[in-house]
Amino acid sequence: MAEELSQAHVLIADDAPTVRQSLRMTLAQCGINRVDAASSIGETRRRLRNAQYDVVLCDYHFGEGMNGQELLEELRQSGELPLYTIWIMITAEAAYEKVVAVAEIGPDDYLIKPFTSALLTQRLTLAWRRKRFLKPIYDKINEDDIQGAIAEARALIPKAEGFRGDLMRLLSSLLLEAGQLEQARMLFEEILSQRMIPWAKLGMAKALIRLGKKNQAESTLQAAIVEHAQYVDAYEELASMYMADGRLDQAMAVFEKCLAMTPNNVSRLQKAGNLANMLGDSAKAKSLLEQAVKCGGNSSALSADTVLQLALAARRENNSSDSEKYLRLVKDIARKDGTIKNKVIDLIASAIYEGKPQLLNEIEVYFSHAEMTQEMATSFIMAADLVCPATVEGEEPSGEAAPYKWLKHIAQRFITTRHVSGLLESAATMRPTWRDYIQQVGQEISDLNNTGVQCMLKSEFIEAIDILLPNAQSTCNNRLMLSASHAIVKYIKASDSIESKERNALITIASGFIDRLNGMIDAGTHHSLSQDLQQLFKS
């Protein structure tokens, strides 16, 4: 064994004391003595936050609740597990081979019990060599230099030898992240022409989605699922695709299949819970989100927004003990990280906890911020319903004073479809006057957008820009920003006599809109508009 590996810092994660002791002895036989242990999921998270480990040996069946695979996925997605750290899964089940074969985020290796110190040494040495080979790429990723990471990966191809598969997988994911979609698609195609690898099939589907080839992407995902029934990541990508298309019932059905296989995955539980809320199934949403909190514990994957939704549900059910418990937890989570999102959620929780509607005034400044989400806006309306004075019969809405100025801003910002309007209206279901006002403002936004689009259809691009652009800028409404971007692109393409200053200003505005819309609109539409703007920049 390499001398540097003998100095490795190792974490053993297993709930059985005898197994922890046995692994310590096995590692000692391998020459490794810098060893810590964790006996629970929560302790494993804490140790990984507080120390740097070169190797984690984790039991697959980690007591009750979350298993080792679910924990690994959470830690990799949150970035709490460094890219350099080796993760080896230990299990007594040969069936784990089927799980890991189709895991998008898999361990560096796995061992089936019982195993010898010689086998552990062999697997550790190979994983160590692989990590050191890929280190130049990891260094660039950690510097947020994706283009540099791609360059390092390409430079390593001639030296890849036994690590070519790992290198190609990393390079293809980097190309996707960098938006080099055609190059990513061609690389996935090349990989699949040699061997049908599940991760390459999923990668191909992701590239096709972003290229706007949704039918091909759906067929690719469906085929991956047929070939590998346990491919949860393919299911999740399909669910996300259905959600983007507004096929919410189909997305929920797919998420339920995911959760049947990974019932304690905190991220998926929260996504499915939020989706259930969107579908109006509050009982299912509550059940899923409660499970997320139960499994989440001290996980960074547990969102303060999730716990806030549970607090609001408990308050509406007059369950004060649960409401207070969840509100305290919301504030604990939100105050760990001073993001705009968490500041808003903390203020909402404080307004409910203290019964002070004036605290909601402090959130107004964030209504247009990119971190303010539709879920947070819905929670805001529900909180306002709980803490604001009762509506007076015959009350006339006024967009100049609270609460109507809040409702106006929220409706202008978030209503893009009748469905979204219905979600916001349902948050104010106990206040008919509020509900009607939200609907009215949403209709005004829809009418405004339709007027601008009609101008575009008649090639009246200047008129379309005059209508759409100032309203898109003032409301930050996704639908208006998208339509304004289309109008700008069409106007510039159709005109040869635009002054350079005006042209550059419009391109800059549209580029800002498109950056903000990333992940908020159909991936193919986003990619197409981005390409159009890049060409306009160059011409």
Residues, the chain: 539
| 1 plus 128 within the same structural domain | yes
| Domain-ending residue, one of 107, 132, 157 | 132
27, 39 contact by CB (below 8 A): no
Q: Which residues pair with 37 in a beta bridge?
A: 12
| 13 plus 100 within the same structural domain | yes
256, 272 contact by CB (below 8 A): yes
- Crossing angle between the packed helical segments 198-210 and 214-227, to the nearest 10 degrees: 160
DSSP state of 390: P
Give the separation between CA 349 and CA 354, rounded to whole angstroms.
8
The tokens describing 425, both together, are 């209206």
User: Does residue 303 form part of some domain?
Assistant: no
Give the separation between CA 45 and CA 68, rounded to whole angstroms.
12
pLDDT in tens, 19-43: 999 999 999 988 899 999 999 999 9
Give the separation between CA 445 and CA 455, rounded to whole angstroms.
16
User: Does residue 314 form part of some domain?
Assistant: no
Mean pLDDT value across residues 264-271:
94
| 203 plus 81 within the same structural domain | no
The tokens describing 146, both together, are 């994706």
pTM: 0.87
Location of structure tokens 């920049």: 537
> Residue 369: helix, strand or coil by DSSP?
coil
461, 455 contact by CB (below 8 A): yes
Exposure of 501 in the CB half-sphere (CA atoms within 13 A): 0
- Helices within 144-278 (DSSP H only): 146-156, 164-177, 181-194, 198-210, 214-227, 232-244, 248-261, 266-278
Determine phi and psi for 404, rounding to 5 degrees.
Answer: -70, -30
Pairing of strands 109-112, 34-38: unpaired
Give the separation between CA 176 and CA 183, rounded to whole angstroms.
9
pLDDT at res. 204: 97
User: Does residue 164 form part of some domain?
Assistant: yes
Query: Does the pLDDT of residue 2 top 70, yes or no?
Result: no
pLDDT at res. 3: 58
The tokens describing 253, both together, are 């059905």
Determine phi and psi for 33, rounding to 5 degrees.
Answer: -125, -5
Mean pLDDT value across residues 234-253:
94
What residue type is assigned to position 262 of the chain? Answer: T
User: Does residue 46 form part of some domain?
Assistant: yes
When pLDDT is cut at 50, 70 and 90, the band that residue 360 belongs to is: very high
95, 117 contact by CB (below 8 A): no
Query: Does the pLDDT of residue 1 top 80, yes or no?
Result: no
Determine phi and psi for 538, rounding to 5 degrees.
Answer: -75, -30
User: Does residue 520 form part of some domain?
Assistant: no
Which structural domain range is residue 84 located in? 1-132
Query: Does the pLDDT of residue 196 top 90, yes or no?
Result: no
Query: Does the pLDDT of residue 93 top 90, yes or no?
Result: no
The tokens describing 241, both together, are 């695709």
Mean pLDDT value across residues 223-250:
92
Pairing of strands 9-13, 55-59: parallel
Could you give the strand order of the β-sheet that contains 34-38, starting from the edge strand earlier in sequence?
Answer: 34-38, 9-13, 55-59, 86-91, 109-112
**Other Cβ atoms closer than 10 A to 47:** 16
CATH of the domain at 14: 3.40.50.2300
Provide the domain count of the chain.
2
Pairing of strands 55-59, 34-38: unpaired
pLDDT in tens, 77-89: 988 999 999 999 9
| 217 plus 168 within the same structural domain | yes
Query: Does the pLDDT of residue 539 top 80, yes or no?
Result: no
pLDDT at res. 94: 79
| 127 plus 148 within the same structural domain | no
Q: What is the mean pLDDT of the chain?
A: 93
CATH of the domain at 214: 1.25.40
| 126 plus 1 within the same structural domain | yes
| 54 plus 156 within the same structural domain | no
| 2 plus 100 within the same structural domain | yes
- Residues 6 or more apart whose CB falls under 8 angstroms from that of 421 comprise 411, 415, 438, 439, 442, 443
User: Does residue 371 form part of some domain?
Assistant: no
| 62 plus 125 within the same structural domain | yes
| 50 plus 119 within the same structural domain | yes
User: Does residue 341 form part of some domain?
Assistant: no
| 123 plus 179 within the same structural domain | no
Mean pLDDT lowest among 114-123, 248-257, 363-372, 503-512: 114-123
User: Does residue 406 form part of some domain?
Assistant: no
Give the separation between CA 234 and CA 199, rounded to whole angstroms.
9
| Domain-ending residue, one of 132, 160, 190 | 132
| Domain-ending residue, one of 101, 132, 163 | 132
DSSP state of 115: -
| 2 plus 119 within the same structural domain | yes
Q: What angle do CA 82, 105, 522 make, to 5 degrees?
A: 105
